[in-house]
Amino acid sequence: MLALLVAVPTAWTEVPAEEQPARTTPPEASKKSTATGDEASGVPLNPDKSAPETGPAVLPEVVVTATRTAEAVNDLPQSVTVVTAEAIERRQPQTPNEMLREEPGIWSVQVPVQGSPIIRGQIGNRVLYLWDGIRINNGALFAGPNGFFNQFPVGAVERMEVIRGPGSVQYGSDAIGGVINIISKRSDYFPTQLSYGGEAYARYGTVDGELTDTADFWLAQDRFNVMGGLTSQSVGDYRGPGVGVIPNTGFGALGGYLNLAFKPLDNQTLRLSWIQNDRDDVETYAQSKLNPSGVPRFFSPYEQRGLAKLDYEMDDLGSLSSELRAYTYLQYYNSSRERLVETTPALVNTLTDTAQHIFGGGIQNTTPWANGWGDPRLISGLDYRVEDLGSALTQYQTTKSTGATVGSVPAGKVPNGTYDVFDLFTMLEAHPLERWTVSTGGRFERTHLHADPNALDVIPNAGYTLQDLMLDKVWYSATWNAGSVYSLTRELDWAADIATGFRAPTFSDTLSTGPPVFSSKIASLPSPNVMPEQSITYEAGPRYHTERWNASLTAYWTELTDVIRPVTSGTVVIPGQGTFIARTSNNAGQGYVRGIEFAASYKPHRDWTLFGNATYTEGRDTQFNEYYRFIPF
């Protein structure tokens, strides 16, 4: 592969030369997600744990995902992966999923239309995706590979933070295998004088004719700043050695982001952010050979995902609050997807138009109790969201001999409806001893699914009625975790954690009808009686960190119960598409996933890093005595 890279930064004004940023995001921005220290957060960074007795202190990296607020990585009992801006630049990714290459415990499947990372043997709706802390998973997400993670512009990503293991206490349903938080580019730079800057970037790849262009800008003064950018991509069919062009492997994309911040007072920040990405001509090579003539079975002419969010954050409010944050957001997703089935006399193309709108918000408070036993810190809050989920089917049948096309509205689809979720959560961290950090937390979640079906959602003579689709159901879930980090020496820690997870049923689990997207011989029937899936994970291991070395070894065991599994229940005839094996679902599955994760890095020079990792994963459904299908060998 040959890549041509061009970067053209603009001039920076009113900024001393020693402060001029080398990247688009100004380094003076004391981002809580990326800074190496944040005194205002009240987080005890314990620099002695990673610094020698003499010489400058090396402060540990700070992340936000694992505790929903700024926290030093060395104080976290859970396994956390940080994909830095430098790593993203080095990997030259086409999609967000490719940014996770080379990370321990993560299998990054390189399929643009899907983009579903596998974390500790879990994929799809058992891994939670976030954009700046806002969940992307919704009540329509299905169990297998999906494209949610790849539906964001690569040029808008500043970094990623990944929790390997359950994150249900922090973020609720779906966070069984892990949590991936995509953190967008933003500026917390408020200079005394007006400053501005920008950057342009272009990349061309010969393997697939890829052309990626990004452009970013920022403008800042003492009370206001703005940062934004655009990303354009055109990716053609992949060319493999010895096989030539592989058809149906390309896509096009156009996206952008905008972050505006205003500080009415020194300790308060109002931020409005927006992100959107449009992809077109997204093709799926894996399904292209299911039709006899080689015509692709699945094709996405268009998909759009966007998110607008308003945050208000207040710091240092007194003894009861070091950080109070309120937020609200609107998320939207629109797509058109074709499913083409070829028979001897005809081509039947089923077009699915999807429209999803999610409105949500919440409030979160961090309470420090300085000078108390262990200097505890309590993080608590609530979240609420309501999802309006809808889709429509149109079918076109073309007779091969005459070329005549007839349109109709086929029977059998997931009903439209709403999915609303309310959460209460709390997390407590304390330092009973100077070398010992303990943390615990819990979450209560109420999930309400309400379906609004019509007569055309019912497949005729399939063994269920319209009444069976009129589902109005509530599930309750409670999760908890407890962890500890003990510093054996200044350089060596021992971390251990126990965490539960869950996944509430979705429209796909309960009301899916018709042939699944990635299957040719199996059709789904309603399963209104399924319950939430449950998990508990135990993990422990040593961590070593100095100025030059970082290494960790983690062993984990995850027990899965009440796993939703398909059960064969005869056959069903779907008009225009043929006869299929019929399946419903129940909570019959249970099993385990276990593994070992090792990662190490060494800096022989300030500009050089040597790194490597190794992972072993094994998982089995003990109820049915079979290996879990998405664990790679």
Total tally of structural domains belonging to the chain: 1
| Range ranked top by mean pLDDT from 350-354, 456-460, 535-539 | 535-539
Angle in degrees, CA 286, 290, 295, rounded to 5: 90
pLDDT over 90 (residue 307): yes
Residue 309 lies in a domain: yes
What pLDDT does 161 receive? 96
What pLDDT does 487 receive? 95
What is the percentage of the chain residues whose pLDDT exceeds 90?
59
| Range ranked top by mean pLDDT from 79-88, 280-289, 456-465 | 79-88
Residue 339 lies in a domain: yes
Of residues 186 and 285, more confidence is placed in 186
Q: Tokens 């999760």 correspond to what residue?
A: 479
Of residues 617 and 23, more confidence is placed in 617
* SS3 of 498-522: EEEEEECCCHHHHHCCECCCCCCCE
Backbone angles phi, psi at 337, to 5 degrees: -135, 135
Residue 160 lies in a domain: yes
Across 483-512, average pLDDT:
96
What pLDDT does 20 receive? 41
CB burial of 127-157 (b: ≥16 within 10 Å; e: otherwise) equals bbbbbbbbbbbbbbbbbbbbbbbbbbbbbbb
Residue 632 lies in a domain: no
d(CA 8, CA 201): 7
Q: Tokens 């060494």 correspond to what residue?
A: 602
Looking up residue 44, the CATH number of its domain turns out to be 2.40.170.20
What pLDDT does 633 receive? 62
Residue 342 lies in a domain: yes
- The DSSP bridge pattern shows strands 195-205 and 178-184 to be unpaired
pLDDT over 90 (residue 342): no
Whether the CB-CB separation of 429 and 438 falls below 8 Å is answered with: yes
Residue 633 lies in a domain: no
What pLDDT does 115 receive? 75
Backbone angles phi, psi at 64, to 5 degrees: -115, -20
Q: Give the model's confidence band at 129: pLDDT under 50 very low, under 70 low, under 90 confident, else very high.
A: very high
Residue 216 lies in a domain: yes
Interval 600-618: pLDDT, tens: 999 998 888 898 999 999 9
* H-run or E-run covering 586: strand 578-605
Residue 177 lies in a domain: yes
Least confident of 377-381, 596-600, 623-627: 623-627
Task: Give whole-number Cα distances, 36 to 85, 117, 378, 491, 592, in Å.
Answer: 14, 27, 22, 17, 37
Of residues 206 and 40, more confidence is placed in 206
Of residues 37 and 231, more confidence is placed in 231
Whether the CB-CB separation of 572 and 459 falls below 8 Å is answered with: yes
Across 181-206, average pLDDT:
92
**Going along 400-452, which residue ranges are E strands?**
405-408, 416-433, 436-452
Across 482-506, average pLDDT:
96
pLDDT over 90 (residue 14): no
pLDDT over 90 (residue 40): no
| DSSP per-residue letters across 203-243 | EEETTTTEEEEEEEEEEE-SSEEEEEEEEEEEE--EEETTT
What is the span of the domain harbouring residue 578?
6-627
Across 523-545, average pLDDT:
94
What pLDDT does 282 receive? 82
Across 275-283, average pLDDT:
89
What pLDDT does 30 receive? 37
CB burial of 71-92 (b: ≥16 within 10 Å; e: otherwise) equals bbbbbbbbbbbbbebebbeeeb
Q: How much is the mean pLDDT over the chain?
A: 86
Of residues 180 and 110, more confidence is placed in 180
| One-letter identity of residue 522 | I
pLDDT over 90 (residue 293): no
CA-nearest of 444, 550, 445, 575 to 493 is: 550
What pLDDT does 142 receive? 82
What pLDDT does 462 receive? 82
Across 92-120, average pLDDT:
83
Interval 217-260: pLDDT, tens: 999 999 999 999 999 999 888 777 777 777 777 889 999 999 99
Interval 136-146: pLDDT, tens: 999 998 877 77
CA-nearest of 157, 137, 148, 167 to 23 is: 157
CA-nearest of 424, 425, 423, 320 to 377 is: 320
Helices (DSSP H) in 455-567: which residue ranges?
466-469, 507-511
Across 166-186, average pLDDT:
95
d(CA 375, CA 278): 47
